[in-house]
Structure 1
Amino acid sequence: MAVTLERPAPAPLRETKPRKTRDRHHRGVSRWVVLAVVTVAALVMLVPFVFMLLNAFKSPGDYSSAGPLSWPTEFYTKGLTTYWNQVNFPLKFWNSLLIAGSVAVLGVVVSVLNAYALGIGRVKGRLWIVGLFLLANMLPQEALIYPLYYISKQIGLYNTQLSVIIIFTVIQSAFGTYLLASVLGTFPKSVLEAASLDGAGKWTVLWRVVFPNLRPTLAVLLIFFFIWTWNEFLIPLVMLIDNSTQTIPVALASLQGDRLMDAPTTNAGALISLVPAILFFIVFQRTLSRGITAGAEK
């Protein structure tokens, strides 16, 4: 006699309602309020650039009769060509690129070496030295300009790009050292001890262990150093008196006289001078955002 076993019928599944997950893109009214405020602030910041763009293509007669807020009646491009030829823009562009690029690279290198000695090397009096770097960042350039002028005169570097490169390398690396020393002060000791046990020297630890971890932060510093140096005006104005050594901001200021200013040419020059910095920022925007994100994750 065969016995058949019947499987019990499965219990009916309960209908479960899908849980409502809170989407980060739908967070209520507060998100839209913040977005609206940020949008309005961005538009307000763009207003001066809109006026500069309008007046760059406006004739002097149109500017004097209708004012700076009017729409140009003709597409006037003589201001662009006048500025390009009058200040020798290609030469000024090369001077600014040489100074800003050299300061960005040298400032990052000096910052890494100083911060490595202070953050990992544990130099005696580390806190006092870091405090001095912080104090150096707080000093205004007006307080430094006369000593820098006198020293550059004495050593024969006055009116040379090298003098400006040295000055801004020291200034920018003071900020970079203060920032990186704080970061390297919290570097995991276990990683350094493991590298030492493997026979790595100080230079090997720096370039094989520390540098790869600092790469995103160094990319951010490189971009900031370049843009900050590109926009500097006071020290290049005092240290560079020859047309062949001057930078773009100094050349732009030379268009304005004591009692007369060609507003369309000045606006056209400001527009041309702003384009390289904007292009540089656009090209390295992803690098900047990745570096900031990596620094936040660490």
Structure 2
Amino acid sequence: MAVTLTPADRAVTPRPPRPARDRHHRGASRWIVLTLVTLGALAMLVPFAFMLLNAFKSPGDYSTGGPLSWPSEFYTKGLRTYWTEVDFPVKLWNSALIAGSVAVLGVVVSLLNAYALGIGRVRGRLWIVGLFLLANMLPQESLIYPLYYVAKEIGLYNTRLSVIIIFTVIQSAFGTYLLASVMSTFPRSLLEAAALDGAGRWTVLWRVVFPNLRPTLAVLLIFFFIWTWNEFLIPLVMLIDNSTQTIPVALASLQGDRLMDAPTTNAGSLISLVPAVLFFLIFQRTLARGITAGAEK
């Protein structure tokens, strides 16, 4: 028996679902982008490959075949020489102490400043935020002499504390600008609800604002650590003793006016790179979650 559909029945008859488009077949543009990204990543790895190649090459092999030749033997004296000559454990401790202290203090100072500017609505907020942005854009070369003079006057020259204070201020300038912009868009309803419940300013900061900004603060902590770890000019001027110098300054000490031991320098660069890479690998998921959370917000 045939069933005849009325016009009304035909109107409500569901259409068959369209087949889902495979995300792996989205056209040639996807593969072009992936190819360009892969080539860019490989190009960025080329210097590290040369550093690894020359770190285990003897000075004779380097002078004979140049930086592109394959080593004739597995040469490890450069690693031992760098480890002992620059007293690498001390330099590692100095770099970790300075970078870790700056990362923590910079995040705390940035959070407090941004809370006052972004939520506290300080008078002249835009001018103050612009001042922080301007301070972050100043080159270190223009700051080095005033910093040197002040450190000498107050007795902090050639101390790790002087570098920690300097970089805490420098990094917190960027952190304050970033967090103040984020807090200016913070939902006012949450703040008003907390105020109606009797929460004070400190309670609002640590119970309402801080939990919502935790991913962003984690990203700032990682960036502050890596940026401070790689700093060279200010530690070079402010730290003159071997007991206070950092890893980048120790690497520069291997180069003379007319002579440079390239294999030892590459070996030192390789050893110095390992702690920063390990730190990034440990916290890469935290970094990814923080960036993703910021994008969702």
Q: TM-score, normalised by structure 1?
A: 0.95
Residue 235 of structure 1 aligns with an amino acid whose one-letter code is I
**In the alignment, what sits opposite 1:49?**
48
**In the alignment, what sits opposite 2:126?**
127
Q: Name the stretch that deviates more: 141-150 or 14-23.
A: 14-23
Residue 157 of structure 1 aligns with an amino acid whose one-letter code is L
**2: CA distance between counterparts of 1:207 and 1:10?**
68
**1: CA distance between counterparts of 2:279 and 2:267?**
19
**In the alignment, what sits opposite 1:248?**
247
**2: CA distance between counterparts of 1:103 and 1:41?**
32
Deviation at 1:10, TM superposition (A): 8.2
**In the alignment, what sits opposite 1:62?**
61
What SS does the corresponding residue of 2:143 show, helix, strand or coil? helix
CA 1:220–1:10: 2 relative to 1, 3 Å: farther
**1: CA distance between counterparts of 2:223 and 2:243?**
26
**In the alignment, what sits opposite 2:275?**
276
Deviation at 1:19, TM superposition (A): 1.1
Q: What is the aligned residue count?
A: 291
Question: Which is greater in Rg?
Answer: 1
**In the alignment, what sits opposite 1:5?**
none
Residue 232 of structure 2 aligns with an amino acid whose one-letter code is F
User: Percent of aligned positions with the same letter in both sequences?
Assistant: 84
Residue 254 of structure 2 aligns with an amino acid whose one-letter code is L
Residue 40 of structure 2 aligns with an amino acid whose one-letter code is A
User: CA RMSD for the aligned pairs?
Assistant: 1.7
**In the alignment, what sits opposite 1:4?**
none
Residue 68 of structure 1 aligns with an amino acid whose one-letter code is P
**1: CA distance between counterparts of 2:146 and 2:22?**
59
**2: CA distance between counterparts of 1:133 and 1:203?**
23
Matches within 5 A, 1:1-298: 18-298=17-297
Deviation at 1:260, TM superposition (A): 0.4
What SS does the corresponding residue of 1:130 show, helix, strand or coil? helix
**2: CA distance between counterparts of 1:245 and 1:69?**
36
Deviation at 1:15, TM superposition (A): 11
Deviation at 1:163, TM superposition (A): 0.1
What SS does the corresponding residue of 2:198 show, helix, strand or coil? coil
**2: CA distance between counterparts of 1:77 and 1:11?**
88
CA 1:266–1:196: 2 relative to 1, 3 Å: same
**1: CA distance between counterparts of 2:194 and 2:75?**
64
Q: TM-score, normalised by structure 2?
A: 0.95
**2: CA distance between counterparts of 1:221 and 1:93?**
22
CA 1:15–1:110: 2 relative to 1, 3 Å: closer
Residue 147 of structure 1 aligns with an amino acid whose one-letter code is P
**1: CA distance between counterparts of 2:179 and 2:14?**
56
**1: CA distance between counterparts of 2:97 and 2:118?**
31
Residue 200 of structure 1 aligns with an amino acid whose one-letter code is A
**2: CA distance between counterparts of 1:15 and 1:293?**
38
Deviation at 1:164, TM superposition (A): 0.0
The superposition leaves residues 247-286 of structure 1 with CA deviations (integer Å, 9 ceiling, x where unpaired) of: 0000000000000000000000000000000000000000
Deviation at 1:22, TM superposition (A): 2.3
CA 1:11–1:223: 2 relative to 1, 3 Å: farther
Ranges of 4+ aligned residues in structure 1 off by more than 6 Å = 8-12
CA 1:15–1:124: 2 relative to 1, 3 Å: closer
CA 1:199–1:256: 2 relative to 1, 3 Å: same
Deviation at 1:25, TM superposition (A): 3.1
